[in-house]
Amino acid sequence: MSKRIPKKALAKAAASSRAGESDFTTELIYEKGELRPFVVTTPSAKLIESREVHKFEEKVYLALLIVFASLVRLHSISNPDSVVFDEVHFGGFARKYINGDFFMDVHPPLAKMLFAGVASLGGFKGDFAFEKIGDKFPSNVPYVLMREFPAVLGIATCVLVYLTLRSTGCKPIVSLITAALFVIENANVTISRFILLDSPLLFFIAASVYSLKRVENATPFSFSWYRALFASGMSMGLALSSKWVGLFTIIWAGAVSAWNLWFTIGDLRISTKKIYGQIIVKVSVLLGIPFFLYLFFFSIHFQLLVNEGDGAAFMSSAFRSSFRDATIPQNTQANVGVGSVVTIRHLNTVGGYLHSHNHLYEGGSGQQQITLYPHLDDNNKWEIELYNVSEAPTQFEPITDGTKIRLKHILTQRRLHSHDVRPVVSEQDWQNEVSAYGYEGFEGDANDDFIVEIVKQKSKSGDAQNRVRAIETVFRLHHAMTGCYLWSHETKLPKWGFEQQEVTCPTQGIKSLGYWYIEQNVSPFLDASAERVSYPKLTFFQKLLELHQRMWQVNKGLTASHVYESRPASWPFLTRGISYWRNEGSQVYFLGNPVTWWASSVFLFGFSVYVVFSLLKWQRGYSVGSNSVVFNYNVQMSHIVLGWAIHYFPSFLMERQLFLHHYLPALYFSILGVGQTFEVLYSYVLRPKRYVSVYLFVILFTGALYYFVSLSPLIYGTPWIKSKCETSKLLVGWDYDCNGLPEEIKGSETIDIFSAEATTAIAPPIEVEVVESAAPVVEEILVEQSEHVAAEPAVEVGETPLVDDEASKKLTEEGSTMAEPEIEDLETK
């Protein structure tokens, strides 16, 4: 924020500098300059020294902080001894890494791989499935070690709060009190005690913030400057590789660096050459290192997941063909002709193969259903016939651009058919129903006729652009009678259609959703020496691009309502939490500490009001921010508010399911803001009466400690009585269940959270019904359970998929609408 400083203050500052007194411990250092006064941006030796942690007193503070944080986060970490919340997914992902089974998740791989590494070190063999909340851990699952990993990172994050505040100029006592508030912040304690991604993410974000502040405190191009800069780039890369939220941290770091650069440009003591040098180094490190690490961890991800697991159903056949145990047909006959038995795959969705079965539409014409089905199955097979030839061909006759054909379903002997009847689900006037019509011996009618139109720009160059070749030719099927095109989109049929993807024949719509290609081809007129074709091997970057398309689309498609979802506008007010686990007499419920949470929101709002009034004063010609403590507060608090805003406001643009834990990165910045507010009160506003500021600190910490202890049964899953549970609810939205709790606990009305009794008085776990979106998605997506656990699709009666992978049969509703990589992009380079 621009500051209008009185000339007398500038003269005084410049005089002090000339007198050798410029080693202030704050950032406000002025030089007179030949043309104008300017702010000195290179930190003084005294400033650097004042922000280092080297005194014995501070080392004692850190030791006490580590002990306190360890007691809070590691206490009774083995409880509950059953699966909690999203341990269903992230424990399951660790299992899949160990077994090498490919899976789909909406988050980058690093944090999940770290959990897998910890599990492997603990001797986990991948033989426990983490299937549902409440499943009791067997003795051979190192779940305690896996929970201790995020807990240790949570302890380290508490230390980083202290070190970060010290690096911004806060007093040791202020930094300690703020870090202690973070130690007992209920939401952060809860999230760090289970196998969840948030604790690693917050640690990496905290390390990024601390390292960037260390960069500000170092002399440019010194060893300590390079070290802090590389640490910041590494930390941001680790954050980005754990969750895409890390991208917001990179944006914040770029904004802060640009802020600092603006003042550096104004520092007349620094040459233009050195300014350009700083720009080049910072851009290279703060962007290059995170990007490299992101690619590196995805490379490891691909190397670990070598088997076709349940996530393979999301991916294109070209992608799936790269798995070690791939079931996708390879080495198929290249040339497609009349009489060929083929499987026809939709190009631009992951719905799968053109499919029919002996079940009828419940509506429309009532004829046999046509769908897309994602698994290999005999009901995907069609024989190509010419439209006007009733006799079987006697020699190979290729299918070329413009050939009019009919497709006969092998198992039911009915032909692909369309007519001027509205589909059962997509009932628009421009949509025609597609069905299978006929019977054995029936020669078909004109509504069975389709014209092959090769899409040359999507097909491989050469023969594939003139005649149909398996895998290489992309084509459309133009219905001869009505002029519509065979087409499919992400809409699903109801349960009577086994929730498979709808196939229609529209006269308008997105053209690319009418693109098809042949995957499997067997011609009775071609022998073993006939030319064959396979999917080209994808490069790393092709696989990376396709996976990100699927991740983005699945993430965007998580729009179903959820009982514990909340919108971003409510997060700073802590209006509700999330149920993680429930038992007879105890539960785990994600909820923040109301004192810390609300205080941080108030201080952010207070700073915003202060900035508005300061700008009004400045506009009227009054001095603002001439005091060095206030100047430092303005700078640091502005950085913090910017970090909070960058991590918070993008959530308003997201239409997907959102939950309270998505606010934690922004909350971290707001808690740093509490420390900055303490500092300006302690060192400036209340400096003549510091005892008042001490009283305020004590009151705030005592209130936070009270609510930490009173709500601790929700953190640790310890027994609780109904009366205490009900009186603890400050807001109506705090909807943890008190009705199932006992009126009193035998032998004692309360239980100390740090006593042995707190962990031994727990009843055996009961299975808790997980209230999730029942809408099917392209498979049982193993992502954050609080957001979306997909329902397993109905099993189609009478169908036997030709694949042995039971898990891959869980393909369901909200699949990616991103296109499968275009054929020309899949060519081997």
Residues 227 and 341 occupy one common structural domain: no
786 within some domain: no
The count of residues in the chain is 829
CA–CA dist 113, 107 (Å, integer): 12
CA–CA dist 488, 209 (Å, integer): 47
Q: What is the structure's pLDDT at 795?
A: 40
Range 642-648, long-range pairs (CB < 8 A, 24+ positions): 642/252, 642/255, 642/256, 643/209, 643/249, 643/252, 643/256, 643/669, 643/672, 644/604, 644/669, 644/670, 644/673, 646/248, 646/251, 646/252, 646/255, 647/245, 647/248, 647/249, 647/252, 648/568, 648/571
Contacts of 184 (CB under 8 A, 6+ apart): 72, 593, 596, 704, 705, 708
CA–CA dist 331, 347 (Å, integer): 19
Q: What angle do CA 257, 261, 265 make, to 5 degrees?
A: 180
Residues 193 and 253 occupy one common structural domain: yes
Q: What is the structure's pLDDT at 626?
A: 67
C-alpha distances in Å from residue 545, one per residue of 104, 485, 538, 710, 821: 14, 29, 11, 48, 9
Residues 384 and 299 occupy one common structural domain: no
The answer to whether residues 133 and 770 touch, using CB atoms and an 8 Å cutoff, is yes
The answer to whether residues 516 and 354 touch, using CB atoms and an 8 Å cutoff, is yes
Q: Which residue has the tokens 């459309």?
A: 476
What is the pTM assigned to this prediction? 0.85
CA–CA dist 489, 504 (Å, integer): 9
Confidence band of 761 (pLDDT split at 50, 70, 90): very low
User: How many other CB atoms sit within 10 Å of the CB of residue 331?
Assistant: 9
Number of domains composing the chain = 3
pLDDT 10s digits, 769-820: 333 333 333 333 333 334 433 333 334 444 433 333 333 333 333 333 333 3
- Collapse the DSSP code of 665 into the 3-class scheme (helix H, G, I; strand E, B; otherwise coil) and give the result: helix
**What is the signed CA dihedral for 87, 89, 92, 96, rounded to 10 degrees?**
-150
Q: What is the largest CA-CA distance in the chain?
A: 107
Whether 760 shows a pLDDT value over 90: the answer reads no
Q: What angle do CA 201, 98, 292 make, to 5 degrees?
A: 45
Q: Picking from 175-184, 368-377, 472-481, 621-630, which range would have the lowest pLDDT averaged per residue?
A: 621-630
Range 259-264, long-range pairs (CB < 8 A, 24+ positions): 259/638, 259/639, 260/41, 260/216, 263/39, 263/41, 264/41
Q: What is the structure's pLDDT at 516?
A: 98
What is the average pLDDT across 569-592?
Answer: 94
Residues 629 and 586 occupy one common structural domain: yes
Q: Which residue has the tokens 């299975």?
A: 767
pLDDT 10s digits, 149-183: 999 999 999 999 999 999 999 999 999 999 999 99
Residues 354 and 420 occupy one common structural domain: yes
Confidence band of 618 (pLDDT split at 50, 70, 90): confident
pLDDT 10s digits, 5-54: 444 444 444 444 443 333 344 556 667 777 777 778 888 888 888 899 98
361 within some domain: yes
Residues 674 and 707 occupy one common structural domain: yes
Q: What is the structure's pLDDT at 138?
A: 96
- Tell me which of 681, 714, 747 is where a domain ends: 714
Helix, strand, coil percentages (3-state) for the chain, rounded to 5, are 45, 15, 40
As given in the structure block, the two tokens for residue 272 are 């233009």
**What is the signed CA dihedral for 21, 25, 26, 27, rounded to 10 degrees?**
70
Q: What is the structure's pLDDT at 750?
A: 42
Confidence band of 408 (pLDDT split at 50, 70, 90): very high
Residues 158 and 276 occupy one common structural domain: yes
Half-sphere exposure in the Cβ direction for 14 (13 Å, CA): 15
Residues 284 and 366 occupy one common structural domain: no
Strands 487-492 and 516-522 turn out to be: unpaired
What is the average pLDDT across 511-531?
Answer: 94
CA–CA dist 535, 332 (Å, integer): 10
Residues 414 and 469 occupy one common structural domain: yes
What is the average pLDDT across 735-755?
Answer: 67
Q: Which amino acid is at 167?
A: S
C-alpha distance across the termini of the chain, in Å? 53
User: How many other CB atoms sit within 10 Å of the CB of residue 152?
Assistant: 17
Range among 613-622, 739-748, 808-817 rated most confident: 613-622
Q: Which residue has the tokens 């240790």?
A: 152
CA–CA dist 90, 197 (Å, integer): 8
What is the average pLDDT across 53-81?
Answer: 95
764 within some domain: no
Handedness of CA 760, 763, 764, 765 (dihedral sign): negative
As given in the structure block, the two tokens for residue 585 are 């007499």
C-alpha distances in Å from residue 356, one per residue of 47, 141, 245, 720: 75, 44, 43, 56
- Tell me which of 679, 714, 749 is where a domain ends: 714
288 within some domain: yes
The DSSP-derived string for 792-814 is PPPPPTT---S---GGGGG--SS
642 within some domain: yes
CA–CA dist 354, 408 (Å, integer): 12
503 within some domain: yes
- Collapse the DSSP code of 570 into the 3-class scheme (helix H, G, I; strand E, B; otherwise coil) and give the result: helix
E-only strand ranges, 523-583: 532-533, 578-583
Whether 687 shows a pLDDT value over 90: the answer reads no
726 within some domain: no
Contacts of 402 (CB under 8 A, 6+ apart): 451, 452, 453
Q: What is the structure's pLDDT at 800?
A: 37
Residues 508 and 593 occupy one common structural domain: no
Q: Picking from 53-67, 442-456, 588-602, 758-772, which range would have the lowest pLDDT averaged per residue?
A: 758-772
Residues 618 and 629 occupy one common structural domain: yes
What is the average pLDDT across 125-131?
Answer: 94
Q: What is the structure's pLDDT at 625?
A: 62
The answer to whether residues 753 and 761 touch, using CB atoms and an 8 Å cutoff, is no
DSSP conformational letter for 284: I
Whether 268 shows a pLDDT value over 90: the answer reads no
359 within some domain: yes
The DSSP-derived string for 721-789 is -HHHHHHT--STT-----TTS-SSBTTBS---TTSTHHHHSPPPP---------S--SS---S-TTT--
pLDDT 10s digits, 469-492: 999 999 999 999 999 999 999 899
Q: What is the structure's pLDDT at 263?
A: 86
CA–CA dist 78, 796 (Å, integer): 42
Instruction: Report the share of the chain in percent with pLDDT over 70.
Output: 85
Residues 513 and 623 occupy one common structural domain: no
Phi-psi region of 444 (alpha: psi -120 to 50; beta: other; left: phi over 0): left
The answer to whether residues 506 and 499 touch, using CB atoms and an 8 Å cutoff, is no
Residue-number span of the structural domain to which 457 is assigned: 332-551+819-826
The answer to whether residues 407 and 416 touch, using CB atoms and an 8 Å cutoff, is yes
C-alpha distances in Å from residue 715, one per residue of 527, 593, 598, 711: 68, 11, 19, 7
Confidence band of 759 (pLDDT split at 50, 70, 90): very low
CA–CA dist 317, 523 (Å, integer): 21
> In the 3-class helix/strand/coil scheme, how is 143-193 assigned residue by residue?
HHHHHHHHHHHHHHHHHHHHHHHHHCCCCHHHHHHHHHHHHCCHHHHHHCC
Whether 763 shows a pLDDT value over 60: the answer reads no
Q: Quick one: which of 454, 409, 411, 405 has its CA closest to 435?
A: 409
Determine which helix (DSSP H) or strand (DSSP E) holds 300, and give its type and residue range.
helix 289-304
